Structure 1
Amino acid sequence: MVQAKFGLPQIAVRQLEIYTTAVLLATLRPPHPPREEKCRQVMEEISKTSCQYYRSMVYENPEFLSYFHEATPQAELGFLNIGSRPTRRKASTGISHLRAIPWVFAWTQTRLVLPAWLGVGIGLEDACNKGYKEDMQAMYKEWPFFQSTIDLIEMVLAKADISISNHYDEVLVSDGRRILGEKLRSELAATEKFVLVVSGHEKLSENNRILRRLIESRLPYLNPMNMLQVEILRRLRQDDDNNKLRDALLITINGIAAGMRNTG
């Protein structure tokens, strides 16, 4: 990401202009708080429900950690020269000791991008069931913080791909754990549904056509790299001392990261 944003002088200057403009706008014209206190209450309820679901899935589901190791290249990231620190804080296999960047990075590689949206759909659905649908639609139009949050989730969902994630499961995940992947992909589809309900858009990132066009233009190059990565992972896990396969995996990881842009 540093190379992409600051690798060339002209791009670096443009990037600094964007950062400077954002700081000036936030300082001189800070965003307005929600007009009604009820908006904060709705936001708190969404957050609470989302957090509870996220923790129940990631920390309390006994199959989740094993599924994570099988379905993503997380274990293989430790062999690659892509960071200044190890992927874990301690010599433990637990989720709590995994650093935040490889946690997001691994899910981004498989196009599920799970940490960005897991729990959001449940939170929005629960709020709709409680009669807050119109309130959330008004919040999206009138509260910049809420609008920005929903727009960011829309952007990530536009980059996710259920069929690609399913292919990782079919090739890499043991039969008994694939049901968990199916559940997660079902939740991804539900999240997209309720995010669109709140934003009022017919398609993801409908209000940002440039971003949507950029995402769509990269897919013809991104999808084949995912297919290659799945096959390389399958072979590498049967022959983990194969340096040629490791080098090939590094190329796919760099390519997918460049195509997805959201690396962690």
Structure 2
Amino acid sequence: WAQYSAQEALVAICQQAKVQLTLFHGRGGTIGRGGGPAHAAILSQPPGSLSGGLRVTEQGEMIRFKFGLPKLAQRSLALYASAVLEGVLLPPPEPKAQWRELMAQLASTSCEAYRAVVRHHPEFVPYFRAATPELELGQLPLGSRPPKRNPNGGVESLRAIPWIFAWSQNRLMLPAWLGAGSALAEVVKQGGTELLHEMRAQWPFFATRLSMLEMVYLKADAQIAEYYDEKLVPEHLKGLGVSLRAQLQADTTLLLKLIGRDELMANESWIRESIMLRNTYVDPLHILQVELLKRVRHAPETVNDNIKRALMVTIAGIAAGMRNSG
């Protein structure tokens, strides 16, 4: 919402100064870093923000999925071009004042809920490091920069890619959904369900946000996250994992109720089938990864190059199956 508001302000200032504005979008591969279907994402931009064209940078691991073959590249470029044309010729509506007010409330509530866990929960950092392969990710070449801005810092010093990558490895997908469901639940509790329905039906920006949440919930897997906790997390930290998985389930149930469906991505069956098909191959990698992490952490004297290499292969394989690293 902060990005949307900033883009609106830039459009207004540039129109006033008669300067052509071209926004350069640096989207990541994951939902938590701006990823998702390009066509829907472009059409959810503020009115007027596409009049000067569009520039984008693709996340490294997404390049081969979108441009690795000639026909894939043609399709990806066609999606970009058609979305920009539609956004210019048939711009989305200006959000109503009550939509803006509710969106600001949602953003504030979700931010508070997110920070309450990530910044203020005393057990969060040790839980994060036990439940994910965050420490082991330092051995992988993730992009051109080191995983941490400050090698001795905590979670706040992690760069965005390893932060999101780590949570996709244990399938909790935490950064992409934490806080969103709590904010929606608060609005529903206050009697704002009809307004949420109106925003979803008439405002592409909000509809796209809910659609991205739906996809994240489908990719997340509480059972696999629980398996990581069971095998890797110390007993005194497991309560936080239980709480987070319960929140994920509650948020998923609430979203399904809001959109009036019985299962996630039911209206995008090809996406649902693609994710479920990949899970068939990814799920065994999680079992293998947990076993390898146990050996690396608890019996380092038995660890050789083959075990280290196998662990790196599971990390890369899960990232490929999830279609994102960060």
Do the structures match in fold with TM over 0.5?
yes
Q: Distance in 1 between matches of 2:269 and 2:260?
A: 15
Partners of 1:137 and 1:200 within 8 A in 2? no
| CA distance in structure 2 between the aligned counterparts of 1:233 and 1:218, rounded to whole angstroms | 22
Give deviations 1:146-168, integer Å, cap 9, x for gaps.
Answer: 11000001001001000000000
Alpha-carbon separation, structure 1, partners of 2:101 and 2:200: 15
Out of 65, 74, 78, the residue aligned to residue 13 of structure 1 is 74
Instruction: Report what 1:254 is aligned to.
Output: 316
Q: Does residue 1:155 correspond to 2:155, yes or no?
A: no
Partner of residue 70, structure 1: 130
Listed as ranges, the matches of 1:192-211 within 5 Å are 192-211=252-271
Shift of residue 262, structure 1, vs aligned partner:
3.2
Q: Which runs of 5+ in 2 are unaligned?
A: 1-61
**What is the aligned counterpart of 1:130 among 178, 186, 190?**
190
- Measured on the aligned residues, the alpha-carbon RMSD in Å equals 1.4
Q: Name which one, 1 or 2, has greater alpha-carbon Rg.
A: 2
Cα distance between partner residues in 1 of 2:165 and 2:255: 23
Match in the other structure for 1:245: 307
Taking the aligned partners of 1:239 and 1:4, their CA distance within structure 2 comes to 37
Aligned partner of residue 300 in structure 2, secondary structure: coil
SS of aligned partner of 2:271:
helix
- Written as runs of structure 1 = structure 2, the 5 A alignment for 1:32-51 is 32-34=93-95, 36-51=96-111
Q: Are the equivalent residues in 2 in contact too, given 1:39–1:139 (CA < 8 A)?
A: yes
Cα deviation 1:211-258 (Å, max 9, x = unaligned): 111111112111111111111111111328532122111211111111
Task: Please identify, of 117-126 and 89-98, the stretch whose mean Cα deviation from structure 2 is larger.
Answer: 89-98
Match of 1:98 among 153, 158, 164: 158
Determine the C-alpha separation between the residues in 1 that align with 2:212 and 2:268: 11
The answer on whether the counterparts of 2:132 and 2:169 sit within 8 Å (CA) in structure 1 is: yes
Correspondence for 1:144 among 194, 198, 204: 204
Q: Which residue of 2 aligns with 1:174?
A: 234
Rounded to whole Å, the distance in 1 between the matches of 2:91 and 2:154 is 40
The alpha carbon displacement at 1:62 in A equals 1.2
Whether contact under 8 Å (1:168, 1:230) holds in the other structure is yes
d(CA) in 2 for partners of 1:82 and 1:3? 16
In the TM superposition, what whole-angstrom CA distance separates every residue of 1:37-73 from its partner, at most 9, and x where no partner exists?
A: 2122111111111110100110011110111001001
**Worse-matched range after superposition: 234-243 or 174-183:** 234-243
CA shift for structure 1 position 132: 0.4
Q: Supply the AA of the counterpart residue of 1:23.
A: V
Instruction: Decide which of 280, 285, 288 is 1:220's aligned counterpart.
Output: 280
Letter in 1 for 2:307: L
The aligned counterpart of 2:87 is: 26
Equivalent residues, number: 263
Alignment match of 2:167 (pick from 107, 114, 130): 107
Partner of 2:246: 186
Give TM-score scaled by structure 1 length.
Answer: 0.95
Task: Tell me the distance in 2 between the aligned counterparts of 1:263 and 1:29.
Answer: 34
Question: Structure 1: 5+ residue runs without aligned partners?
Answer: none
In 2, Cα distance between the equivalents of 1:135 and 1:215? 31
Q: Report the residue type matching 2:322 in the other structure.
A: M
Query: After the TM superposition, which segments of 4 or more aligned residues of structure 1 sit over 3 Å from their partners?
Result: none
Residues in 1 aligned to 2:143 and 2:104: alpha-carbon distance in whole angstroms: 35
- The amino acid that maps onto 2:176 is A
Percent identity between the two aligned chains: 45
**Alignment check: 8 A CA contact 2:142 2:162 kept:** no
- Residues 140-190 of structure 1: CA distance to partner in whole angstroms, max 9, x if unpaired? 112111110000010010010000000000011000000000000011011
Asked whether the 8 Å contact 1:140–1:198 carries over to 2, the reply is no
TM-score (normalised: structure 2):
0.77
Q: Secondary structure at the match of 1:235?
A: helix
Tell me the residue number matched to 1:121: 181
- 1:5 maps to a residue whose letter is K
Q: SS at 1:216's partner residue?
A: helix
- My pick for the range that moved more, 167-176 or 75-84, is 75-84
- Partner in structure 1 of residue 296 of structure 2: 236
In 2: Cα distance, 1:27 partner to 1:242 partner:
57
Q: Which moved more, 1:39-48 or 1:50-59?
A: 39-48
Alpha-carbon deviations, 1:63-107, whole Å to 9, x = none? Answer: 101110010011101111232211111123322111011111100
